Amino acid sequence: MELERDSLHLLERGLETLEKGFASLPALPPTGASISRMEDVLVAAAERLHDNFPFFHPLYAGQMLKPPHPVARAAYAMAMWVNPNNHALDGGKASSAMEREAVAEIAAMFGWKTHLGHLTGGGTMANLEALWVAGRVHPGKTTVASKQAHYTHERISAVLQQPFQAIPADALGRMDLQALERRLDQGDLGCVVATLGTTGFGAVDPLPAILKLRDRYGFRVHADCAYGGYFTLAGNLEAPARAAYDALTEVDSIVIDPHKHGLQPYGCGCVLFRDPAAGTFYKHDSPFTYFSSAEMHLGEISLECSRPGAAAVALWATQRLMPLVPGGEFATGLEAGRRAALALAAELSQDPDFVLAMQPELDIVVWSVQSDSASEASALAQKVFDAAAKRDLHLALIRIPAAAVRPGESGFLRDRTEILCLRSVLMKPEHEIWLAEVLSRLRAALADARLS
């Protein structure tokens, strides 16, 4: 196969235009390193990069890894010739404006006409800012999230020295509402993290019901949509998930990662607050940084300081090419991934060699290998994982409670509490076209595993 290279020509055209903007400057001397030496180093780096899984290819169907769009790659690289810093305006005036525009488009996708928000280095930093603000609103109170929520919430709470507690999940990986209500009755709860798209199962927490509980108990609701946020544009969700996404307009804060489904390079996260008054918590004085403009600098509403303006340029360019609207090119790509997940789930549910753990809500599929015991199923899953990789099919593994995979089934020995299962994130639109090939290699890998 060949890597995409058309964007190299686009980059050259973009650099020609960029250069014209600085035509009045005196010419610079050549760089110190010779072209031949730089070429040698670059080729050596490319050879080192062979030691990677092919994240960009549809046969990589493991973790949440999606290649940046060619226009994002080209725009990011083009901006690096200037290397703007989206902290103070004098570090990145144009790219700061592009960040505001791109972030406003993301906020509008969730139905917010007013907001406060900015890009971050990723979902972890974005969630840290959201939980930090929640702690300032309700100081000393506990934050809760589902046991299937990302582990970063517990870790962040420890960093912030804010109390945290995990709420049990139901058999579908969603937050257990009865368990949440029991915790609410104990009092002292300041923030509930609702996950719309858990990283393990792609489960969507029941946000409308959580918001009804907020009306009674008065806590803050933060929506962690780092992985699943863009599915608000998808037109092929089931009713419970659709209701949860439609309710996002009512939460207090949202986190989304454009470097997941948003076709961006790492790292590009985004945090949004429905009430712009959240900015008062960021207030600080830095006269040596913010001297260049009376206009607000992005660094005044961010816990991070230096941030790559190139990330904003890449995101702006991608959203300019593919607007965040239902039925558009970007949205149909999400729908294709979801169709692929549903089709894979349908195949697995009819295959006597596999056991589907649950119907996918977004584009993540989890399944186990048919066997007589939890230990045997786990051993076979590991063997299938290894055998598939030898056939250039790259999957992922996940441990889940044995009772959740085959509930109430007689004759199945639960000789361990968890089963190692196979897992795929079908987040590339091409996965729909490549599904037959994925299944063919999966079944061949199972045959290899049973012989080993």
Helices (H), 322-411: 329-350, 374-390, 402-405
What are the Cα distances from residue 212, in Å, to 177, 206, 452?
Answer: 11, 10, 53
Segment 410-431 shows an average pLDDT of 92
Name the percent of the chain in helix, strand, coil, to the closest 5: 45, 15, 40
- Provide the pLDDT confidence category of residue 296 given band limits of 50, 70 and 90: low
> Any alpha helices (H) in 138-221, and if so which ranges?
152-160, 177-185, 207-217
DSSP state of 204: B
DSSP per-residue letters across 209-272: HHHHHHHHH--EEEEE-TTTGGGGG-S---HHHHHHHHGGGGSSEEEE-TTTTT---SS-EEEE
Q: What is the pLDDT of residue 297?
A: 60
Task: Tell me the two tokens of residue 52.
Answer: 């990677």
pLDDT at 87: 77
Has residue 248 got a pLDDT over 90?
yes
Q: What angle do CA 376, 381, 384 make, to 5 degrees?
A: 125
Q: How far apart are CA 210 and CA 228, in angstroms?
A: 18
**C-alpha span between 324 and 85 (Å, rounded):** 25
CATH of domain 329-451: 3.90.1150.10
pLDDT at 240 over 90: yes
pTM strictly above 0.75: yes
Domain ranges of the chain: 89-321, 329-451
> Peptide bond before 337: cis, by omega within 30 degrees of 0?
no
140 has a pLDDT exceeding 70: yes
How many residues are given for the chain?
452
Fold exhibited by the domain 89-321: Aspartate Aminotransferase; domain 2 (3.40.640)
What are the pLDDT digits (tens) for 377-407? 999 999 999 999 999 999 999 999 887 776 6
Q: What pLDDT, on the 0 to 100 scale, is given for residue 31? A: 73
Checking if the pLDDT of 33 tops 80, the result is no
